[in-house]
Amino acid sequence: MDKWIYWLEEVDASFNDIVGKKCANLGELKKGGFRVPPGYALGLVAYDRFMKETGVMERIRDFLRDFKADPQNPGDTIKFEEVSSLIRKMVEETPMPKDMEEVIKEYYEKLCEKTGLFPTPVATRSAGPVSHPGQYETYLNVKGADQVVLNVKKVWSSTFNARSLIARARLNLPLEYDPIGVAVLTMVNAKSAGVMFTLDPSNGDISKVVIEGSWGYGEAVVSGSVNPDRFKVDKVTLEIEERRISNKDQWYVFDEVQEKMVYAPVPEELREIPCLTDEEVVELVKVAKEAERHFGCPQDIEWCISKDYSLPESIFLVQARPESVWGKKEKQTVIGKKDPFELVLKRATTPIRIRS
């Protein structure tokens, strides 16, 4: 029987079509020496086995047999939302094949032994073989083996959310089947988190690194739910050229009472101060440059700073993918064809203007 579950240490970029792009890149980062939270990956075969062995794929196909809606017509969105809700319930209520459930739980127990946390909080993250940022779903702070199994199914069921169904319908792809991988990744006890680009996303300047971040977990920044702090840094000199500190009035945190992730008010004393120190910004840039060098192209990276470690060991990467706009273009850096040493020399010999 085909292997369908892997420790992240077992995979790399060549596993893209086996475990999905996100899982493959996380394994590649680990092999490259970057700090990635401990975790494991369920491959596309796991989705395939679940959907076929349980018969749920055939049930979905039968359910959709008479479904008619125009994916190009915004007025039909409600039809996709209605069938989505029913199909997702069908998937999530279907029991996992017993042998698969036992293996997923065994891997989780071993993960707990690795981290020394019982239970270890994890994120279950979608990993399609082709990158579709924001199309599928992630679940955070999942604790306990039973909950991991349930949330793996919830990630799989997100292939039937309305936007995924509409996307497949527009491409004339089967609605009842869309195999993805799942990353089960240890949660980082995040002080702050966000994204960074190894070029300036506003103009494609590859001589810059741009970092956006906020307090708490990074989903608030990735989803656009908060107005993040922003830092623009010169790649060569590591000088912070621009900083924009926002009023960060909410963060995404785990509510112990409700036992779920929620958006909550940020304490007043943190709202208008930087979520990163200058030292953290510089260390993030160093990591970003190494990731770009490792993958050989501009990167879009999700990062977090752990409360549990000192810099630079506090920096963890939870996603890295090619920057999707400027990275595909032939774009000359703002510094032209100058050698990096020439740029440093020019900076060193430029008179300093003192502001009074």
Find out whether 107 and 9 touch, Cβ atoms under 8 Å. no
Residue range(s) defining the domain that contains residue 327: 190-349
Judgement on whether residues 251 and 281 belong to the same structural domain of the protein: yes
The answer to whether residue 196 sits within a structural domain is: yes
Q: Which of 186, 218, 251 is at the close of a domain?
A: 186
Judgement on whether residues 270 and 132 belong to the same structural domain of the protein: no
Residues whose CB falls within 8 Å of the CB of residue 174, separated by 6 or more in sequence, listed in order: 168
Number of domains in the chain: 2
Half-sphere exposure of 62 (CA within 13 A, CB side): 6
What is residue 353's three-state secondary structure?
A: coil
Judgement on whether residues 22 and 126 belong to the same structural domain of the protein: yes
The answer to whether residue 335 sits within a structural domain is: yes
The answer to whether residue 354 sits within a structural domain is: no
Find out whether 50 and 44 touch, Cβ atoms under 8 Å. no
The answer to whether residue 179 sits within a structural domain is: yes
Residues whose CB falls within 8 Å of the CB of residue 354, separated by 6 or more in sequence, listed in order: none
Judgement on whether residues 107 and 231 belong to the same structural domain of the protein: no
Judgement on whether residues 254 and 222 belong to the same structural domain of the protein: yes
**CATH number of the structural domain spanning residue 288:** 3.30.470.20
pLDDT at 329: 57
Where b means 16+ CB within 10 Å and e means fewer, 164-182 reads bbbebbeeeeebbbbbbbb
Judgement on whether residues 195 and 182 belong to the same structural domain of the protein: no
Judgement on whether residues 106 and 197 belong to the same structural domain of the protein: no
Judgement on whether residues 211 and 115 belong to the same structural domain of the protein: no
pLDDT at 28: 98
Judgement on whether residues 172 and 263 belong to the same structural domain of the protein: no
pLDDT at 215: 97
The answer to whether residue 154 sits within a structural domain is: yes
Judgement on whether residues 334 and 312 belong to the same structural domain of the protein: yes
Nearest alpha-carbon partner for 87 in 3, 6, 177: 177
Q: Give the containing element (helix H, strand E) for 112.
A: helix 98-115
- Which amino acid would we find at residue 165? L
Judgement on whether residues 63 and 115 belong to the same structural domain of the protein: yes
The answer to whether residue 30 sits within a structural domain is: yes
pLDDT at 328: 55
Q: Which of 157, 186, 215 is at the close of a domain?
A: 186
Q: Which of 169, 186, 203 is at the close of a domain?
A: 186
Judgement on whether residues 157 and 259 belong to the same structural domain of the protein: no
What CA dihedral angle connects 298, 123, 26 and 1, to 10 degrees?
Answer: -140
The answer to whether residue 355 sits within a structural domain is: no
Find out whether 301 and 195 touch, Cβ atoms under 8 Å. yes
**CATH number of the structural domain spanning residue 130:** 3.30.1490.20
CA distance 278 to 312: 13
> Strands, DSSP E only, in 56-180?
122-127, 139-142
> Strands, DSSP E only, in 12-113?
39-42
The answer to whether residue 294 sits within a structural domain is: yes
As beta bridge partners, residue 305 has 192, 315
Global pTM value: 0.89
Lookup: tokens for 263: 């958006």
pLDDT at 2: 86
Residues of the chain short of pLDDT 70, as ranges, are 1, 327-356
Nearest alpha-carbon partner for 154 in 97, 91, 100, 95: 91
Find out whether 182 and 127 touch, Cβ atoms under 8 Å. yes
Burial class (CB in 10 A: 0-12, 13-18, 19+), 162: middle
